[in-house]
Amino acid sequence: MRLPILAATLIITAARVSAAEPFIIVQSTTSTQNSGLYDSILPEFTAASGIAVRVVAVGTGQAIMNARNCDGDVLLVHAKAAEEKFVADGAGVSRSDIMYNDFVIVGPHDDPAGLSDAKTVSKAFDKLESGDFVFTSRGDDSGTHKKEMALWQMAGVDPTQASGTWYRETGSGMGATLNIAIGMNAYAMTDRATWIAFGNKADHKIVFEGDNALFNQYGVILVNGERCPSVKAEEGQAFIDWLLSETGQSAIGAYRRQGQQLFFPNARK
The residues of the shown chain that bind other proteins, judged by CB under 8 A, are 2, 6, 9-10, 13, 17, 25, 30, 34, 39, 54-57, 66, 68-71, 173-176, 178-179, 197-202, 228, 230
Taking the complex as a whole, the smallest distance from the CB of residue 235 to other proteins amounts, in Å, to: 15
The alpha carbon of 158 is separated from its chain's Cα centroid by a whole number of angstroms, namely 24
Taking the complex as a whole, the smallest distance from the CB of residue 73 to other proteins amounts, in Å, to: 11
CB distance 216 to 102 below 8 Å? yes
Return all residues near 93 (Cβ < 8 A) that are at least 6 apart.
87, 221, 222, 223, 224, 225
152/195 with CB nearer other proteins: 195
Q: Are strands 52-58 and 23-29 parallel, antiparallel or unpaired?
A: parallel
62/101 with CB nearer other proteins: 62
CB distance 137 to 148 below 8 Å? yes
200/250 with CB nearer other proteins: 200
157/175 with CB nearer other proteins: 175
**Nearest CA among 193, 192, 170 for reference residue 183:** 170
39/241 with CB nearer other proteins: 39
Taking the complex as a whole, the smallest distance from the CB of residue 120 to other proteins amounts, in Å, to: 28
35/249 with CB nearer other proteins: 35
Cα angle value 50/98/241 (rounded, 5°): 35
142/249 with CB nearer other proteins: 142
Between CA 82 and CA 91 the distance in angstroms is 12
Cα angle value 142/144/146 (rounded, 5°): 70
Taking the complex as a whole, the smallest distance from the CB of residue 89 to other proteins amounts, in Å, to: 14
Q: DSSP per residue over 135-181, as a string? A: EEE--S--HHHHHHHHHHHHHT--GGGGBTTTEEE--S-HHHHHHHH
Taking the complex as a whole, the smallest distance from the CB of residue 19 to other proteins amounts, in Å, to: 14
Which amino acid is present at 170?
T
CB distance 34 to 175 below 8 Å? yes
Taking the complex as a whole, the smallest distance from the CB of residue 139 to other proteins amounts, in Å, to: 16
Taking the complex as a whole, the smallest distance from the CB of residue 16 to other proteins amounts, in Å, to: 9
- Cα 101 to Cα 84, 134, 135, 252, distances in angstroms: 19, 26, 22, 12
